[in-house]
Structure 1
Amino acid sequence: MKDRLIEFGYAAGWRVVRALPLPVARRLFTAAADRAYQKNGPGTQRLRRNLRQVVPDMPDTLVRDALRSYARYWMEAFRLPSQTREDFLAGLHMAPEHYDELKSAIADGKGVVLALPHVGNWDAAAAWVVSNGWPMVTVAERLKPEGVFRQFVAYREKLGMEVLPLTGGRRPPLDVLGERLQQGWAVALLGDRDLSRGGVEVTFFGGRTRMPAGPAILAIRTGAPLYAVDLSFSDTQTVAVLRRIIPPTEGPLDVRVKQTTQALADAYAEGIAEHPQDWHMLQKLWL
């Protein structure tokens, strides 16, 4: 019964929220974020601890602002399926030089690896990539209950991307992603939290954590350009910044993967430090 209620809640979100006038939806989700801040439950407490690692002398209002940003992500996610290609293109801003670099990298036919932390609205960014005519594939954590996982897969497929399950698929995700890169696709991966318990240990905001090795392995194996993608919210858009990561070309593979993953962690930290309120990390991260 609990699983069915969770599934119903997400399904209702996608149906109801996108039918609301935008100002009404914003007020509702902001109010929900403020209630979570006042209630100070486990997720809010974890977010506070994570943000304090980033900004040691932070004001507590940063936690409130981060919860509002997280609520905005969900509000926008529930509304994305009803938007048009023109909406997707208008909803994200990228500096012209970064756009030209990304377009050129994909046109070269080697594909591109886009690795990003849990910042801003990554679903809106993915919809923007697809709306530019660039095929994209991503990997989804197999959520529980299974019905919620299927809803998220269907949601992201409707936005135009191919979605591979992290576990339980017919083939290992890295194999499929490598093939897609060889076909000139964009591969987008969330890379600031390791879900396998076998990730690469890195230094991140002065502490030790593990991050997935997949982005580094794919870039090293295929030669595809690797970018750390920074996303943040403006009043009306998602703002994207690209930071190119150059993997080392010599040395043992495991050493090169570790060095590349550390470079990604450093790039993530640079962006998060600029807008910590838009980093949506409500789970345990540091070892």
Structure 2
Amino acid sequence: MNGFLFAFRASRYLPVSVTRGALWAGTMAQWVRRAKPARRLEENLHRVTGLEGRDLRRLSRAGMASAARYYAEAFELPRMTADVIDARVRMENEAEIREIIREHGRVVIALSHSGNWDLVGAFACRNLGPVVSVAEVLKPREVFEEFVALREGVGMRILGLEGGSTFRELIRIARGDGGLICLLADRDLTGSGIEVDFAGHRAKVAPGPAALAAATDTMLVPVMVRYERLRGKRRRAARSRWGTVLTFGAAVSPADAPGDDRVGHLTRAWVGFMGDAIRRHPQDWHMLQRFGWTE
């Protein structure tokens, strides 16, 4: 059995503290050995911060710890009560998106691989509206199926990334069912990425959020997810030292985009917000894979 799949399933029966400790230790071992995920993370963090040497190593350690925290929370998510989920998540600048959902019944959300997007998906299902998302079809297939079951277990609707058929289904959902259509888009998996200025460097990102917003005349909102330390009453309610902050950027309307470059315009808008947000909170950007830098 795949080691990750074994850990995922074993976590259902282990105390939460044991799962957290094991994931933290394993991730720190990768950092100490400078395994490929740690090296990739440092390369990406160097790009967005300009840090080198000890400062970069210190930041990458915090980044690996943040990634371990994400996986520990993901494994724990099926055990969390609704009250614990609500205690762990805090929103910033949510007034505009609430108004969009109230008026239009749907919104496209562009996310990066930051913080805990699964936890905020569970929170959004309870506090904003139904969530639809797309997941990369991982290998072995059982890992993908476990993640889908995890996310659907907390209320989200998950589609596998299957090319054009997935995009057509998203269009149907946006026009018919509505809700929050949330797409991780900082890492392009389609091979048809759009080149933009990302945190001061040229890179290709996924066209999906902008293309879907343009095709369905739906408002596009970028979101940054990051961690924060918890104290006092909220820490006790969350049963964790860490909480998650869900920060909404300004909404972008396809109607305001030029007709000959609607997807490019919308993409540059959300990337501008996201790049600045990642620069402010680089430790929570879990980009442990090759990123789409073009320079």
- TM-score, with structure 1 as normaliser: 0.89
Q: Which position in structure 1 is the counterpart of 2:35?
A: 41
For residues 195 and 52 of structure 1, the distance between their equivalents in structure 2, rounded to whole angstroms, comes to 22
Deviation at 1:175, TM superposition (A): 2.2
> Aligned AA for 1:86?
D
Shift of 1:16: 3.2
Contact 2:257 2:266 in 1 (8 A): no
2: CA distance, partners of 1:211 / 1:133: 27
Match of 1:196 among 190, 193, 200: 190
Amino acid at match of 2:259: P
Map Cα deviations across residues 186-221 of structure 1 (whole Å, 9 max, x no partner). Answer: 100001011011111112123222111111122223
- Quick one: distance in 2 between partners of 1:46 and 1:270? 20
Letter in 2 for 1:101: E
Structure 2 residue aligned with 1:68 = 65
TM-score, length of structure 2 as denominator length? 0.87
Instruction: Kindly indicate whether residue 176 of structure 2 is the aligned counterpart of residue 179 of structure 1.
Output: no
- Matching residue of 2:50: 56
Deviation track 1:68-120 (CA, whole Å, cap 9, x = no partner) reads 0000000000010111222222221013xx33332222122340111111000
2:112 pairs with 117, 120, 123, which one? 117
- Change over 3 Å in CA distance of 1:123–1:222 after alignment to 2: same
- What does residue 223 of structure 2 align with? 229
Q: Could you say if the C-alpha distance between residues 250 and 193 of structure 1 is closer, same or farther in structure 2, counting changes exceeding 3 Å?
A: closer
Deviation at 1:131, TM superposition (A): 1.7
Q: Deviations over 1:113-140 (max 9, x none)?
A: 1111100000001000112261111011
**C-alpha distance in 1 between matches for 2:13 and 2:108:** 35
Distance (Å, rounded) in 2 between the aligned partners of 1:185 and 1:250: 22
Distance 1:85 1:197 in 2: 38
Specify the SS of the correspondent of 2:250: strand
RMSD: 1.9
Shift of 1:56: 0.9
Q: Which runs of 5+ in 2 are unaligned?
A: 230-241
Q: How does 1:1-287 map to 2 (within 5 A)?
A: 5-6=1-2, 9-58=3-52, 59=55, 60-95=57-92, 98-132=93-127, 134-167=129-162, 172-182=165-175, 183-235=177-229, 236-247=242-253, 249=256, 251-253=258-260, 255-285=261-291, 286-287=293-294
Looking at structure 2, the residues matched to 49 and 251 of structure 1 have their Cα atoms a distance apart, in angstroms, of 35
